Amino acid sequence: IPAKTPGELDAMQAAGEIVGRALQAVKAEVRPGMTTLDLNEIAEAVIRDAGAIPTFLGYQGFPGSICASVNEVIVHGIPSKDVVLEEGDLVSVDCGATFDGWVGDSAWSFGVGELDDDVIALNEATEWVLMEGLKAMVPGNRLTDVSHALEVATRKAEQKFDVQLGIVDGYGGHGIGRTMHEDPYLANEGKPNRGPRIQEGSVLAIEPMLTLGTVDSAVLEDDWTVVTLDGSYAAHWEHTVAATAGGPRILTPRR
């Protein structure tokens, strides 16, 4: 997996910190009655105020600066004035910013008001799986060591959070650098010790997508929105992570 220099990692983190601030602003302001288009405007303002470009806007024709995926929507929800948030909704916000030619990509899920207990378990489990899985992002490992770590963490999380989890088939993380989606594709499960070697300076966007039910999904007629086939809730957590001699380095930190 191609390596970035320490200076390039610093530049990527500058982009990633803008993403972190945009996500924090959205979470701080979300209320029942707001629309996902409102969330989009909050995030886009933070990105533009920082002198960055919202990476998602226009990406393969995508019309928003964030993906806003509510409840049974897994990823790629289009921000809309018609999607009005209610108490108990689980919102997954995915966001990217391009700054000084480098891209940061990060996502997190949070509740609008109070969530049901099983949805809290899903969300806390997905965060935990991300943080456990990214520990495999160290020089000398191979690509699917990260995939395997995510899968093992998911199965452990079922015990830890007392919840049954589905790992969404066919979606995963990716290389990232001067563009958002670069090779290689990173599956969220699989056998270890396969694929390209992780070097000092390799960067991956690591992004578990877990459900309270199925592993199967469908894309709606808008050609973007990915939903669980059985309508079960889904959560999505993502960080852009570099492998360094000192261990995994999160390039999209949230304060």
Binding segment for Mg ion (CB under 5 A), chosen from 24-32, 98-106, 134-142, 146-154, is 98-106
Site for Mg ion contains 17 (CB under 5 A):
no
154-160 contact pairs (CB < 8 A, 24+) = 154/125, 154/129, 154/188, 154/189, 154/208, 154/210, 156/132, 157/125, 157/126, 157/128, 157/129, 157/132, 158/125, 160/125, 160/128
CB of 39 to Mg ion, least distance (A): 15
CB of 55 to Mg ion, least distance (A): 9
Helix (H) / strand (E) element for 157: namely helix 143-160
Q: Which residue of 17, 38, 94, 132 would you call a contact of Mg ion, by CB under 5 A?
A: 94
Q: Which residue of 89, 105, 132, 151 would you call a contact of Mg ion, by CB under 5 A?
A: 105
* Footprint on residues 58-87 left by Mg ion (CB under 5 A): none
Binding segment for Mg ion (CB under 5 A), chosen from 23-31, 89-97, 108-116, 215-223, is 89-97
Binding segment for Mg ion (CB under 5 A), chosen from 53-61, 76-84, 145-153, 200-208, is 200-208
d(CA 104, CA 179) in angstroms, rounded, equals 9
Nearer to Mg ion, 160 or 181 (CB): 181
* Footprint on residues 106-165 left by Mg ion (CB under 5 A): 107
Site for Mg ion contains 188 (CB under 5 A):
no
* Helices and strands, counts by H and E, the chain: 4, 15
CB of 1 to Mg ion, least distance (A): 15
The residues, ordered by sequence, that sit 6+ positions from 60 with a Cβ below 8 Å of its Cβ are: none
Nearer to Mg ion, 97 or 163 (CB): 97
Nearer to Mg ion, 43 or 163 (CB): 43
Q: What angle do CA 241, 242, 243 make, to 5 degrees?
A: 125
Decide the pairing of beta strands 217-219 and 226-228. antiparallel
Give the residues across from 243 on adjacent strands: 248
Site for Mg ion contains 205 (CB under 5 A):
yes
Contact residues for Mg ion, defined by CB under 5 A: 94, 105, 107, 205, 238
